[in-house]
Amino acid sequence: MSDYSVIGKRVRRIDGTEMVTGNAKYTFDLVLPNMLYGKILRSPHPHAKIINIDTTPAEKMIGVKAVVTGKDTLGCKNGIWRRFSELCDEEILCRTKVRYIGDPVAAVAAIDEDTAEEACQLIKVEYEELPATFDPLEAIKEDAPQIHEGVELNINVTRHIEWGDVDEAFKHCDHIREDQFKTSSQHHVCMETHDAVASFDYNGKLTVWTSTQSSYYIQRLLADMLGLREGDIRVIKPPTGGGFGSKFELDSPQFCASLLSMKLCRPVKIVLTRAEEFTATKRRTPMYYFVKLGAKKDGTFLAKEVRVLTEGGAYTAMGATALYLTGFFSSFPYKYPNYRYDGYRVYTNTAPTSACRGFGAPQSTFVGESQIDMLADDLGIDPIEIRRKNGMTPDYEVPGQAHILSCELHQCLDKTEEQIRQRGKLPPNHGIGIACYGFMSGGIFNWFDTPYAFSSAIVRINIDGKVDLFTGACEIGQGSDTTLSMICAEELGVRLEDIRIHSGDTGICPADLGAWGSRETLMNGNAVKMAAADAKRQLMAVAAGKLGANIVYDLDMTDRWFHLVDRPERGFSYYDIVKQAIRGNDGEAIIGRGHYTPHRKGMISPAYSFGVQAAEVEVDPETGRYKLLNVITAHGSGTVINRLGIEGQLEGAIMMAGGYGLCEDQPMDKGKILNPSFDDYKLIRSLDMPETKILEIESYEPEGPFGAKEAGEGLTNPTAGAIGNAIYKAVGVRINDLPITPEKVFRALREKEKQGK
């Protein structure tokens, strides 16, 4: 496996030099001739009817070029679950009703941002305030205000997963735990806020440059919302300042900028402020968990029952998927013979909740890993031992849901245990907690209802041997452009510098669902590998004819050299073969095509990553303050494509997932987010960052390109649980609601003292 010439190395980002020189031009940096600037007016009320909107004073203002409201739209409703029209519920520009503080009601295009902002203040919106509801436990009651017409008890989506005989199995358990947990909101905090430049021309063609995780989704959703044909819209994704799950839906900047541009046939740019980003883009789903776990005396899990109520916020967004995935990943990564999940996503008058790195799994992993430690403690079993006993193994069937091929969980447990042993005896008030996790390598579900292959790629070999790789995959910082170029170079047998990738531009790239659900390496990687193989096969035909070797000999190309596999010195230069192939092809460049759609791979994903994380904390028992000191991660991601890339994903995830455990939250008062700035939204900065260590895990995933699978989101799953378990080990208190703030630890310590007396 190690004789690859490109993959498995530590490779600099191919787009990195543009970034370190300040030369990379993000959507935020784009300026077009004759461009206008847009601003969005948003609802100050959590729930209100729109009686009237008077835009006249704003329109009269000097420098204002256009104002749009819901009346200027087609009245379509946006949603990413396109197969279910009732789940497409967001107008983006509200026509009759607003449902959260921040819901857009109007947008202005003007000569500069200040003018647009001022004009927004002149728009008079007459509201009739309605009673509002903010907590799913309240919103689900019969007397709660109805947020969407006809949606009883505000129940947006329900999800049931079951296998085995759960009720019967609980009768045979020696020990059963029933616990409640609550997980918090978290914001993605992309460094580049949501933004877009839209330019509609007199030929009826719309071009949108936007910071997005899926240019194809934006193209398709804009077509739905604007009544244009898909082919009349070109979405271009320039370098993108982070996504983390927040940027694959159609949001207000793209829609409003497009609408304004269509009114004027002038380019319009909208950039959200940080405060707008915090209050009016989507966020991680807070969840209430009610969990029952039953086991035998020896720690063997017999049954698990999970009930979840999620805070949906005002719209469905991708939250319906989070509801499904949190239910599935509540069974992960263990062999539960009997399992039942019932999830309810409830509308509330708060900012919509949706996808956020980990997609429902950080919630379920915090809950599951906390409870397993509690159970192990009750039974007097070592936390690693109980996980080893119940952990998934390769070639395991999750009944009716998934087939696990590669699984490195036990290898990860062994390596982590060895590290913990090496740490030796801990100082007082220190504790090490562990958490196991797994995650998907791209989702199989197609609620978006795309008619296209999930991933596609085209490889074009030019006369000089330079290779153009076209793919709809979206580079958002995670490194997909580099990873996919490496896969292409490896498969083709050329060098990395021979590849020029064109990605995330719907005008020139084949459709790809985008960078979410940790899908690009496996799904797009497979498409790229297939396209490269297709192109190589065409060259090989020419090379084989030229070599005239016996048919029994194998031919291959490595490092720009076509040769007999057994006699590498016998061959031809790649450049010569390319020239001849193109000549023989009537002058057409060599084109290879590839695509990937998972078939017969279960309900969730074609492949799963597995890992174990250990976190060490030091708690001050007087104040409850604690420090996250060390985090060790063993992550099975199949074959590593770019070692530098995977390290970045691992360490970066700890910053985000550590923040989820420690401090990140979005407290609200009557639907108003109280901390919409970096002054008040606390996250991990360099001084708070723990030491990190990555344990190398050997593995190979048969379904992935060269054996690779995900290494993006799974890493966000374990940290909060590991921190919670570490605090318990350190000072003996258990916090069941996120984030685990020093205040909560302090209160729990005082409570424990009281009970001790």
Partner 1 sequence: MKKELRLTVNGEAHELYVEPKSLLMDVLRDQLGLTGAKRSCDTNTCGACTVILNGMAVHSCSILALQANGGEVLTVEGLAKKTELHPLQKAFLDYGSVQCGFCTPGMLMSAKALLDKNPTPTKQQMKEAIDGNLCRCTGYNSIIRAITAVVNGEYKEEK
Of 643 and 744, which has the nearer Cβ to partner 1? 643
Min separation Cβ 520 and partner 1, Å: 14
Site mask for partner 1 (CB under 8 A), range 642-681, x = bound: --xx-xx--xxxxxx--------------------xxx--
How far, in whole angstroms, is CA 737 from its chain's centroid? 23
**Which of residues 4, 15, 399, 450 is near partner 1 by CB under 8 A?**
15
Of 426 and 644, which has the nearer Cβ to partner 1? 644
Of 549 and 689, which has the nearer Cβ to partner 1? 689
The DSSP secondary structure of 660-696, one letter per residue, reads HHHT----EETTEES--STTTS----GGGPPEEEEE-
> Of 189-197, 402-410, 595-603, 720-728, which segment contacts partner 1 by CB under 8 A?
189-197
Q: How many CB atoms lie within 10 A of CB 312?
A: 30
Min separation Cβ 265 and partner 1, Å: 24
Of 29 and 54, which has the nearer Cβ to partner 1? 29
Of 37 and 315, which has the nearer Cβ to partner 1? 37
The secondary structure element, H or E, covering residue 353 is strand 353-354
> Of 65-73, 186-194, 301-309, 331-339, which segment contacts partner 1 by CB under 8 A?
186-194
> Of 16-24, 80-88, 137-145, 549-557, which segment contacts partner 1 by CB under 8 A?
16-24
> Of 6-14, 448-456, 590-598, 729-737, which segment contacts partner 1 by CB under 8 A?
6-14
**Which of residues 90, 192, 249, 512 is near partner 1 by CB under 8 A?**
192
**Which of residues 17, 85, 462, 573 is near partner 1 by CB under 8 A?**
17
Min separation Cβ 671 and partner 1, Å: 22
Residue 123 found at the interface with partner 1 (CB under 8 A): no
**Which of residues 2, 21, 203, 755 is near partner 1 by CB under 8 A?**
21
Of 234, 249, 196, give the one whose Cα is nearest residue 79: 249
Q: Which residues contact 622 (CB under 8 A, 6 or more apart)?
A: none
Of 10 and 583, which has the nearer Cβ to partner 1? 10
Of 475 and 491, which has the nearer Cβ to partner 1? 475
Site mask for partner 1 (CB under 8 A), range 469-508, x = bound: -------xxxx-----------------------------
Of 686 and 755, which has the nearer Cβ to partner 1? 686
- Which tokens in the block code for residue 95? 């026509």
Min separation Cβ 350 and partner 1, Å: 23
Q: How far apart are the C-alpha atoms of 126 and 373, rounded to whole Å?
A: 54
Min separation Cβ 29 and partner 1, Å: 4
Min separation Cβ 192 and partner 1, Å: 5
Of 421, 551, 560, give the one whose Cα is nearest residue 489: 560
Min separation Cβ 438 and partner 1, Å: 21
Of 544, 542, 546, 569, give the one whose Cα is nearest residue 555: 544
Note whether 666 and 188 are within 8 A (CB).
Answer: no
Min separation Cβ 745 and partner 1, Å: 24
Of 551 and 687, which has the nearer Cβ to partner 1? 687
> Of 235-243, 451-459, 484-492, 543-551, which segment contacts partner 1 by CB under 8 A?
235-243
Q: Which of residues 258-297 bind partner 1 (CB under 8 A)?
A: 273-275
3-state class (DSSP) for residue 722: helix
Min separation Cβ 563 and partner 1, Å: 32
Min separation Cβ 714 and partner 1, Å: 15
Q: How far apart are the C-alpha atoms of 247 and 193, rounded to whole Å?
A: 10
**Which of residues 55, 183, 184, 193 is near partner 1 by CB under 8 A?**
193
Of 392 and 631, which has the nearer Cβ to partner 1? 631
Alpha helix segments (H runs only) across 380-478:
383-390, 409-423
Site mask for partner 1 (CB under 8 A), range 27-56, x = bound: -xx---------------------------
Query: By CB under 8 A, how many residues form the interface with partner 1?
Result: 55
Angle in degrees, CA 393, 398, 401, rounded to 5? 140
3-state class (DSSP) for residue 426: coil
> Of 51-59, 185-193, 215-223, 528-536, which segment contacts partner 1 by CB under 8 A?
185-193
Q: How far apart are the C-alpha atoms of 200 and 709, rounded to whole Å?
A: 40
Q: How far apart are the C-alpha atoms of 81 and 262, rounded to whole Å?
A: 26
The secondary structure element, H or E, covering residue 435 is strand 430-440
> Of 10-18, 384-392, 525-533, 561-569, which segment contacts partner 1 by CB under 8 A?
10-18
Residue 24 found at the interface with partner 1 (CB under 8 A): yes
Site mask for partner 1 (CB under 8 A), range 680-709, x = bound: ---x-xxx-x-xx-----------------
Q: Which of residues 617-646 bind partner 1 (CB under 8 A)?
A: 644-645
Of 331 and 649, which has the nearer Cβ to partner 1? 649
How far is residue 187 from each of residues 109, 227, 412, measured CA to CA in Å? 28, 32, 30
Min separation Cβ 63 and partner 1, Å: 15
Q: How far apart are the C-alpha atoms of 360 and 684, rounded to whole Å?
A: 21
Of 98 and 711, which has the nearer Cβ to partner 1? 711
Min separation Cβ 141 and partner 1, Å: 37
In SS3 terms, 219-280 reads as: HHHHHHHHCCCHHHEEEECCCCCCCCCCCCCCCHHHHHHHHHHHHHCCCEEEECCHHHHHHH
Min separation Cβ 356 and partner 1, Å: 12
Residue 23 found at the interface with partner 1 (CB under 8 A): yes
How far is residue 356 from each of residues 102, 263, 283, 332, 492, measured CA to CA in Å? 19, 34, 7, 18, 35
Of 276, 288, 465, 463, give the one whose Cα is nearest residue 363: 288
**Which of residues 16, 57, 337, 732 is near partner 1 by CB under 8 A?**
16
Q: How far apart are the C-alpha atoms of 516 and 496, rounded to whole Å?
A: 25
Note whether 440 and 729 are within 8 A (CB).
Answer: no
How far is residue 628 from each of residues 151, 685, 727, 730, measured CA to CA in Å? 44, 12, 10, 12
Angle of helix 383-390 relative to helix 409-423, nearest 10 degrees? 170
Min separation Cβ 16 and partner 1, Å: 5
Site mask for partner 1 (CB under 8 A), range 391-430, x = bound: ----------------------------------------
Q: How far apart are the C-alpha atoms of 341 and 339, rounded to whole Å?
A: 7
Is 687 exposed, middle or buried, given 0-12, 13-18 or 19+ CB atoms closer than 10 A? exposed
Min separation Cβ 17 and partner 1, Å: 7
Residue 12 found at the interface with partner 1 (CB under 8 A): yes
Q: How far apart are the C-alpha atoms of 747 and 733, rounded to whole Å?
A: 10
How far is residue 539 from each of residues 212, 534, 583, measured CA to CA in Å? 36, 9, 12
How far is residue 318 from each of residues 89, 246, 730, measured CA to CA in Å? 12, 10, 38
Of 21, 147, 80, 527, give the one whose Cα is nearest residue 320: 80
Residue 240 found at the interface with partner 1 (CB under 8 A): yes
Which positions lie near partner 1, rule CB under 8 A?
10, 12-13, 15-26, 28-29, 188-193, 239-242, 244, 273-275, 476-479, 644-645, 647-648, 651-656, 677-679, 683, 685-687, 689, 691-692
